[in-house]
Copies of this chain bind each other. A is one copy, B any other.
């Protein structure tokens, strides 16, 4: 028996879910640096949004436990080893991705306060303050709620039931890997931090993919796991940038320009595979139709909502119309993927365009059908910027089920961006 380890474990008042500030997605750190440089003084509010109303989180999860976990995150600061990794590592082939000014700020950072209330069986969890600080709450907040939900379901199970549960879940992940390894030319990354079953489970899934996929597994969005397992940290940018930029616009014209302004600034900072467009915030089609020419020279497009086949075909046509060879371009799929979707997309697009898959919830949290009442089935939880300097943010996306913002603002954005009828798609995860 390893007595020291046992005693060490016993001395924890809680079993912390997030134990490191870099237990987060790489794109959060990239975006944070960008915001720190370009918009450090914007005041934002991030809010937890459970799109699966039937999962009554506040009835499953003890408020006190949630507070303890959130408080623990507020006690974290960047460790020396983490700082060394961020300063010294090569990301996307580039040294010193993070500037000394940003690193100094990040080393001194503690996450700002949170606001938590219960309402109608759900938690109202919000974070308000300076954008570069508040934005870092998104991933740990989601990971904490997801793992507390897992723990709540598992806590009444016996030792052997748990062993079999994990035996089955491991077998499932492994069999997915065995199917995926047969896909020629596959390039796949773990994007599953935010909705993972738990940290240790995500780490296991990543190791299983390394073993099953070899070079076809190109990395993980999770910085802590990338550091620990010597993997590439993967990610570029997300909806919060155009959403906040758009909310801050002083005129309709500036609003229409906002998604491109974001990318203009991004282009000053990043090159190569980091130049990936996320075009769906206010509709992929109109975004590409109005895009300035220089955007077509970017490396790739990430498809995060809507019909991935339609959107990819549209992107290919757009590149061709701008005299670009799609075979040199990259499509990053990241919306609700599982093995059948990956197989189908690959069968359709391999050879026509370069492909990468950001595999999330159904890699790191596929426990559906494994416990009674399917109480571990995946559900759709997000944590989004809802306000910037007192103005509401809006997201339309290519799926109206994923839209967010006040109704009148949503209508205004739809009108301005010329988004017509959209087809709703069920949001699984």
> Which residue of B158, B171, B207 is within 8 Å of A167 (Cβ)?
B171
User: Given contacts A167-B174, A168-B171, could you give 16 more A-B pairs where the C-beta distance is less than 8 Å?
Assistant: A1-B2, A2-B2, A2-B5, A158-B211, A160-B174, A160-B207, A160-B211, A160-B212, A164-B170, A164-B171, A164-B174, A166-B167, A167-B168, A167-B170, A167-B171, A171-B171
CA A163 to CA B158, docked complex, whole Å: 21
CA A171 to CA B163, docked complex, whole Å: 9
CA A345 to CA B131, docked complex, whole Å: 70
CA A55 to CA B170, docked complex, whole Å: 31
Q: Scan A374-396; emit 1 where CB is below 8 A from any B CB, else 0.
A: 00000000000000000000000
- CB of A159 closer than 8 Å to a CB of B: yes
Q: Which of A1-57 touch B at CB < 8 Å?
A: 1-2, 5
Contacts of A166 in B (CB 8 A): 167
Which among A1, A159, A164, A166 has the highest number of chain B CB atoms within 10 Å? Answer: A164
Shortest CB-to-CB span from A266 to chain B, Å, is 38
CB pairs A–B below 8 angstroms (22 shown) = A1-B2, A2-B2, A2-B5, A158-B211, A159-B211, A160-B174, A160-B207, A160-B208, A160-B211, A160-B212, A163-B170, A164-B170, A164-B171, A164-B174, A166-B167, A167-B167, A167-B168, A167-B170, A167-B171, A167-B174, A168-B171, A171-B171
Which among A5, A167, A208, A212 has the highest number of chain B CB atoms within 10 Å? Answer: A167
CA A255 to CA B166, docked complex, whole Å: 57
Number of copies: 2
CA A174 to CA B167, docked complex, whole Å: 10
Q: Which of A144-184 touch B at CB < 8 Å?
A: 158-160, 163-164, 166-168, 170-171, 174
CA A212 to CA B168, docked complex, whole Å: 17
Contacts of A174 in B (CB 8 A): 160, 164, 167
CA A277 to CA B164, docked complex, whole Å: 39
CA A197 to CA B207, docked complex, whole Å: 27
Contacts of A163 in B (CB 8 A): 170
Contacts of A160 in B (CB 8 A): 174, 207-208, 211-212
Minimum CB distance partner of A175 in chain B: B164
Minimum CB distance partner of A159 in chain B: B211
CA A269 to CA B298, docked complex, whole Å: 90
Minimum CB distance partner of A163 in chain B: B170
CA A160 to CA B160, docked complex, whole Å: 21
Minimum CB distance partner of A208 in chain B: B160
CA A163 to CA B163, docked complex, whole Å: 12
Shortest CB-to-CB span from A344 to chain B, Å, is 25
CA A211 to CA B167, docked complex, whole Å: 16
CA A12 to CA B159, docked complex, whole Å: 31
CA A166 to CA B159, docked complex, whole Å: 16
Q: Scan A206-220; emit 1 where CB is below 8 A from any B CB, else 0.
A: 011001100000000
Contacts of A159 in B (CB 8 A): 211
CA A5 to CA B1, docked complex, whole Å: 8
Shortest CB-to-CB span from A216 to chain B, Å, is 15
CA A174 to CA B1, docked complex, whole Å: 27
Contacts of A171 in B (CB 8 A): 164, 167-168, 171
CA A171 to CA B1, docked complex, whole Å: 27
Q: Which of A235-262 touch B at CB < 8 Å?
A: none
Shortest CB-to-CB span from A225 to chain B, Å, is 16
Shortest CB-to-CB span from A222 to chain B, Å, is 19
Contacts of A211 in B (CB 8 A): 158-160
CA A46 to CA B128, docked complex, whole Å: 80
CA A184 to CA B158, docked complex, whole Å: 22
Closest A-B pairs by Cβ, 8 of them: A2-B2, A167-B167, A160-B211, A164-B174, A167-B170, A167-B171, A168-B171, A164-B171
